[in-house]
Amino acid sequence: GAFKDRLTELTYRIFEENFQCYVNEVNTDKDHIHILFEAPPQVALSSLVCSYKTVTARLLRKEFAEYLAPFYWKPYLWNRSYFVCTVSERSHELITEYIRNQGNKEKG
């Protein structure tokens, strides 16, 4: 839907334009997002994540206030935690496939 499309658009913009990273794959599941990206060594990953969460929360809460109201009654959008790991050439394809399949799981 429109929310996921806007979040994906913001993800590319923030990672690529603001931090000179390259986004390989992005997808969301019910309550989280997976982003496979390449970052220059000088990028401070904690700053990238903090900036990403701050900017997306501010814009999405403003643009989708009515849509988010039933779900996000607290004054924040994201959980404070995040997970970052490196991917080898061998695991890159597996991780890409995993991300592509987010949100496509059978219910039940």
Residue 55 in 3-state DSSP? Answer: helix
Report the alpha-carbon distance of residue 84 to residue 49 in Å, rounded.
9
Q: Residue 50 is which amino acid?
A: C
Whether 98 is catalytic is: yes
Q: Rg for the chain (alpha carbons), in Å?
A: 15
Question: Which position among 12, 67, 82, 98 bears the catalytic label?
Answer: 98
- DSSP code of residue 15: I
Residue 27 in 3-state DSSP? Answer: strand
| Residues labelled as active-site residues | 98
